[in-house]
Amino acid sequence: MSRSCEICGKKTTTGYQIKRRGLAKRKGGVGRKITGRTKRKFKANIQVLRANINGSIRKIKVCTRCMNSGKVVKIV
């Protein structure tokens, strides 16, 4: 079971955490310099909920963006 939305396909993506030093030019410095980059993950906000899919009720993994936009009929 992967960490991805079954409606829109949103999933975990990768990126970098960037370390900087120095003072910005607009604040009177010589500019910000990058001193290091570390790999990191951006995880989608995935929730498991009971939803009405084609007339049958089943549990699915959905991102909160799809829940708030009304793409899924939530069973209360």
- Give the start-to-end residue ranges of the domains of the chain: 13-69
* Mean confidence (pLDDT) of the chain: 93
39-67 burial by CB neighbour count: b if 16+ within 10 A, else e? eeeeebebeeeebeeeeeeeeebbbeebb
pTM recorded for the entire structure:
0.72
Average of per-residue pLDDT across 49-61? 91
Does residue 1 carry a pLDDT above 60? no
Query: Stretch 57-74: mean pLDDT, rounded?
Result: 92
Name the burial class of residue 6, with classes exposed (0-12), middle (13-18) and buried (19+) by CB atoms within 10 angstroms of its CB.
middle
